[in-house]
Structure formats: C-alpha cells, structure tokens
Structure 1
Amino acid sequence: MRPAMSGLRYLPVLLCWCFVLAAVTAAPASDGKQPAPAGNGSAGSAARVTYILALGDSLTAGYGLESADSFPAVLEKRLRGAGLSVRVINAGVSGDTSAGGLARLGWAMDAVPGGRPDLVIVALGANDALRGLDPAMMRTNLARILEQCLDAGARVLLAGMQAPRNMGTDYAAQFDAVYPELAQQYDVPLYPFFLEGVALDPALNQPDGIHPDAQGVQVIVEKMLPHVLSALRDL
C-alpha cells in the first residue's frame, strides 16, 4: 500500500520534513476561517450538503497559498464540479502534531453544522516524525482520533505520511507501519502518502522548494480524489 522510497529519493522527503518543522515557528497558526464554498446550484436547492472535515497540519491548512488554492478549497471545488453537494472544512493548523489534532478534534467537529462531519480526512503525523516523537504515541493519538470520528458516526479517510530516513531504519519502519496498521484495525480506507506525486517534483512546489504550490495542490487533489469519492459512496 505504501509507495516505495529508496536511494536519492529520501533526500527530497527529508527536506520536506525539515521545512515543515521550520514552519512551526515561522508560520502563524490558522485563524480558523473557512474557505468559501463554490456555488453548485440554486439557493433553493433541497439537496443535502455532505460535510467533509480536513484535519491536518500546514499541508492541509494551505501554507503560503491563497485560501482558494488550499487543499480543502480545491477538493471542494473539484467535488462540486462533479455534481456533489459538499462542503470541505479546513481544519489544518501549521505545525500541528497528532497530539494537537486530537486535542482540538472535538471543537473542530462541533464547528460542523449538526456537530458531526460525514467524512473526516485525517492527515497528521509529519511533525511527529520531524520532532522524533515516539511512533507508539503517535499511533495512540491517531487511534483515538479514528475512534472519536467513528463513534460520532463519521466516515474516515486516513492519509499516510513517511518518516525521514535520517531518523534511522528502525524508527522509519515503526513510523511508516502505523498508518496501514490503523487502517486495517479500524477498517478505514488509506491514502498511503499525502504528498505522492508532488514531494519529488520541484515544479510543483513553492519557491521554498518544499510546500506544494497551487499546481501541486491540484495534483494532490486529483490523486486523492478517487479515494475520497469511494469513501463518499460508502456513506
């Protein structure tokens, strides 16, 4: 399920982790504002709105991008263009770890009309790896996030991350294994690597060479879209 990485491919991923860590102190936390939904029908439409909560860090929040170019906004526009009545809520906070995501999950879900999203995209863990935090603790935090979402009746799509290889092969193996193990344990779909197709391509990153630019976000959304559509069909 996870994309193989070897040799020189480790270097771009390591650089990506290093820059995200720098963003913890360099970038302000998300102000909580939601991207405006794109229109997809008349105001009088009776179609039920499907709410998707995107829970993550700076990669979800849209670091360095206009709000309309962030992952949640682009995903919403793409889904609405496919004829779906959806609202994707940006619950990304720069620098957040799995512990931070767990701590704010309750109020993030409360911000959704009705107090429960239909689908939660969980994209956390990059900063746990950057800080060398115990993968076992990250696993516990992510497990609690999944449990709370599922107990609330929400569907979950788990987006995986990968550890920088300078942490050692044992650490990387333990970290990388967390996502497929949790997906199997909780019977939730897994998107193996959030930055797949973008992390290794300088043309799809901002001038910093690390965070996806607007085109890079488009690539991420297109690659993840089949997984999102599959999760929505199971609602």
Structure 2
Amino acid sequence: MLSLGYGAARRMRNLSIGVLALAGSAHAETVTIAALGDSLTAGYGLAQDEGFVPQLQAWLDDQGADVKVLNAGVSGDTTAGGLSRVAWTLTDDVDAMIVTLGGNDYLRGLDPAVSRANLDGILAAGRDAGVAMLLVGLKAGGNYGPAYKEAFDANYADLATDYDIPLYDGFFDGIRAAAGSQDQFGAYMQPDGIHPNKEGVAAIVAALGPSVLALLDGVD
C-alpha cells in the first residue's frame, strides 16, 4: 500500500513524463528497478549470469514484465555503505528500489540500532525520490544472544510499517523451502556457507519474484 506522501512525491516526479495515447492505446515505458544490496545482490562468487540480478531479470522476462533490473550491489557493504550511495543510485530513470542490506552488519555484530538508522535513511531517500520500494529482510542467528536477534529481525518489519511499504521477510526463505530441511540447506550454498550458489539463487528468485512483480504494480 502506498502512502499519500509516496503518491504525491511520485506524481511530482512524473510531471515531465507524459503518457502518449494514440488510437486508444497507451505507450508504457520500461520500469527500472535498482537492487541496492551487498554481495548477495552483487552475485559474489558466481558467473556473470548466475547472480541474483541476472537471474531475477530472466525470471521477470519470463513473466512478460517490461522491466530492467540494475545491479546496485557492492560486496562487503553494510547498511552504512548503502546509505552513503543511495542518493546516486536513485537516478532520474529509476522507478523502484529493492533494498537487501544488513547481512554484513550482522556478521560484524554491529548494533541493530545503528543498522536501523541507516536503513531508515535509505528508505527516506527512496520516499523522497518517489520510487516504489520493496524491503527484503534477513534473519539473524543466535550467536549474539536472543536480545540481539530480536532487535535485528524487528528492524525490517518495523521500518516496512513505518514507510508503508511491502516487506519480503527473509532473503533465504526460497532456499529453506527448496531444501526442505537444514541438512539439505548446504546444497544450495557456496563452500563459504554464506553465499548462495547458482541453484540457491534460482530458489531465492523463484520465491521472491512474485513480490517484485507486485512491486511493479505500485509504479505509477
């Protein structure tokens, strides 16, 4: 659901784009989505056509969507890194943004409150730019204790509510569903146990793809 603030910003951003109607039909422009993330988005350890963005692009093409997905993933990036580059990621031709950040914050044990503030800044930039947004959550493990996990996991749901944007709860949910059990989870991961392999990305995209299609419906 889009807030009034989002709709107003989007309408102002699109004042210069008109809709060309000829013989009762309209010309729809290709929707451009920026995928802002870290190595999970960038496609770390994979061939060029095996990463998250190219597999998502292929999946959307197969669904007949007129969309271009831009790879704005930087390996090793934290939420702070995403915040530092979101302004130049959101160029005038970007219509929507997928945000998948926080994994490196968790791996480094950064304060969830700091991660939340950075994600808040990223989403505020997207709102101000008038782009449709999809926030993709990540689930922390229990190695920093239950209080850390609770605070980290809650960041995504709380911010999605604050900005009235859709949340895809867990980036790795598609792998969990495909694996069926924790014993089989490793078959979809690279040897480092952190990054998905080609088959893992395919499972992630198959599960996440419908949420991206729904995001396109929110683009004016």
TM-score, normalised by the number of residues in structure 1:
0.76
Aligned-pair distance for 1:161? 0.9
Alpha-carbon deviations, 1:69-126, whole Å to 9, x = none?
Answer: 111111111111211111100011111000000001112223xxxx242110000001
Match of 2:200 in 1: 216
2:142 is aligned with 1:165: yes
Question: 1:116 touches 1:153 (CA, 8 Å); kept in 2?
Answer: no
| Aligned counterparts, 1:87-102, within 5 A | 87-102=68-83
Q: Within 2, Cα distance between the matches of 1:232 and 1:203? A: 32
1:15 corresponds in structure 2 to none
- State the Cα distance separating 1:207 from its structure 2 match: 3.4
Alignment partner of 2:42 out of 51, 61, 65: 61
Q: Distance in 2 between matches of 1:81 and 1:198?
A: 21
1:13-162 alignment to 2 at 5 Å?
Answer: 47-110=28-91, 115-162=92-139
RMSD, matched Cα: 1.4
* Contact 2:174 2:205 survives alignment (8 Å): no
Query: Does structure 1 conserve the Cα–Cα contact (< 8 Å) formed by 2:37 and 2:99?
Result: yes
Aligned residue pair count: 186
- Alpha-carbon separation, structure 1, partners of 2:161 and 2:202: 28
What is the alpha-carbon distance in structure 1 between the residues aligned to residue 32 and residue 209 of structure 2? Answer: 15
Mapped partners of 2:79, 2:97: distance in 1: 14
Name the SS of the counterpart of 1:161 in structure 2: coil
Q: CA deviation at 1:165?
A: 0.7
Distance 2:49 2:217 in 1: 26
Q: CA deviation at 1:234?
A: 1.8
Q: Distance between the aligned counterparts of 2:126 and 2:193, measured in 1?
A: 34
